[in-house]
């Protein structure tokens, strides 16, 4: 798995363009992000606990969160608490930031042989 590049509303993974947000599971499956359970915060669809649980049930060792081109992806309070607990307990390595800024680090994690999952926001 390799992130090639990103631009507003798009990401290229292994040479294929995705024109939407994506989930990447530890087995390499890529799926369109389902925002139906994500409430709006300040006009933006948030990262919801439902989505986070969808990824965490696959038991990744590394979780990558691309927060959009400008890092605007908001988190619900439940997600903030859960991510903080994961970080404090060192259960999962968390990589998060503006989507363009994390691509290189994410590619390093994919090469590491560890179980890597991702939630990638491609706009904002």
H/E segment holding residue 5: strand 3-7
Domain ranges for the chain, please list them.
3-121
pTM score, whole prediction: 0.95
**Which residue from 69, 62, 74, 70 is spatially nearest to 110, judged by alpha carbons?**
62
Q: What is the pLDDT of residue 89?
A: 79
**Which residue from 27, 112, 35 is spatially nearest to 68, judged by alpha carbons?**
35
Please report, for residues 46, 72, 87, 94, the alpha-carbon distance to residue 90 in angstroms, rounded to integers and kept in the order given.
24, 25, 5, 9
DSSP assignment of 69-107, as one string?
TTS---B-HHHHHHHHHHHHHTSSEEEEE-HHHHHHHHH
Residue scoring higher pLDDT (124 or 16):
16
Per-residue pLDDT tens for 32-60?
999 999 999 999 999 999 999 999 999 99
Q: Which CATH architecture has domain 3-121?
A: 3-Layer(aba) Sandwich (3.40)
Per-residue pLDDT tens for 61-119?
999 999 999 999 999 999 999 999 988 778 899 999 999 999 999 999 999 999 999 99
């Amino acid at each position: 798995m390799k992130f090639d590049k990103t631009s507003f509303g798009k990401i290229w993974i292994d040479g294929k363009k995705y024109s939407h947000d994506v989930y990447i599971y530890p087995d390499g499956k890529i799926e369109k992000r389902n925002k139906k359970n994500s409430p709006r915060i300040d006009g933006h669809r948030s990262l919801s606990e439902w989505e986070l649980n969808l990824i965490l049930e696959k038991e990744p060792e590394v979780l990558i969160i691309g927060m959009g081109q400008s890092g605007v992806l908001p988190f619900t309070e439940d997600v903030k608490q859960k991510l903080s607990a994961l970080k404090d307990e060192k259960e999962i390595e968390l990589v998060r930031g503006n989507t363009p800024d994390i691509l290189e680090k994410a590619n390093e994690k994919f090469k590491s042989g560890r179980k890597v999952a991702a939630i990638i926001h491609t706009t904002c």
